[in-house]
Amino acid sequence: MGTLYVVATPIGNLEDFSYRGVRILSEVSLILCEDTRKTKILLNRYEINTKMMSYLEWNHTKRIDRILLELENSDVAVVSEAGTPAFHDPGSALVKAVVEAGHLVAPVPGPNAVASIVSVAGLPADKFIFLGFLPRKKNERRKIFEELLMNSEPIIFYESPHRIVDSLNIIQEILGDRRLVVGREMTKLYEEIYRGILSEAIKHFSKPRGEFTVLIEGNQKKPG
């Protein structure tokens, strides 16, 4: 019986791909991916010719039988658009189905935006709360941060350029002018690591571009 390899891929810089990741993607019979066009860029960079098949959470039920059949005779890999699959990316439902069918699942670790922002933050983050992508609706975003007002652990989330300023305004209104670290376009050509406080960040990113990973300092006020 084959093994499903959960392979982490670069979040930007293609040189961040591991030797093992290259080998695994070269040896498996099939690569499951979110976006075949983007994955093809990575495969071309490393001269990998393995066939691909799109796999998204919404087409899981249509793909699973084919995937399990493939695993009967060979190994299969799953990758996300960037970073680590199943870490706020498609993959967890697939892993569950493959495990229930009796196949092995093996991680091939590598790049991850959350680990990257923690490593350069310079703020205590041995424990943190990860929110993934924030909801589109303002009232839902407000509710999340109202519930986290007294939380002492840092809060990490992803945000798009279209909503980053609006989200930072909501957070400052609710949490106050806390310290934060913002990773914009991490590992890419125009990477920026911004450190400051919320009010300054709102001004700094007045014309935002790229993808954002944000770490907000937890509540530092002692109770009592």
Indicate the residue type of 117.
I
Residue 44 domain flag: yes
In angstroms, the Cα distances linking 67 to 38, 92, 117, 137 are 21, 14, 34, 36
**Strand-pair partners of 96:** none
pLDDT, residue 87, reads 73
pLDDT, residue 136, reads 94
pLDDT, residue 124, reads 87
Rounded Cα distance, 146 and 164, in Å: 18
Please choose, from the candidates 121, 131, 173, the residue with its C-alpha nearest in 3D space to the C-alpha of residue 155. Answer: 131
Residue 222 domain flag: no
Please tell me whether residues 89 and 133 are part of one structural domain: no
Q: Would you tell me how many other CB atoms lie within 10 Å of the CB of residue 171?
A: 26
Residue 224 domain flag: no
pLDDT, residue 53, reads 94
Task: Give every residue of the chain whose pLDDT is below 70, as ranges.
Answer: 57-60, 88-90, 222-224
Q: How many domains does the chain have?
A: 2
Please tell me whether residues 134 and 212 are part of one structural domain: yes
- Where a domain ends, among 72, 87, 108? 108
Please tell me whether residues 119 and 68 are part of one structural domain: no
Rounded Cα distance, 27 and 163, in Å: 40
**Full residue range of the structural domain in which residue 30 is found:** 3-108
pLDDT, residue 93, reads 82
Please tell me whether residues 10 and 101 are part of one structural domain: yes
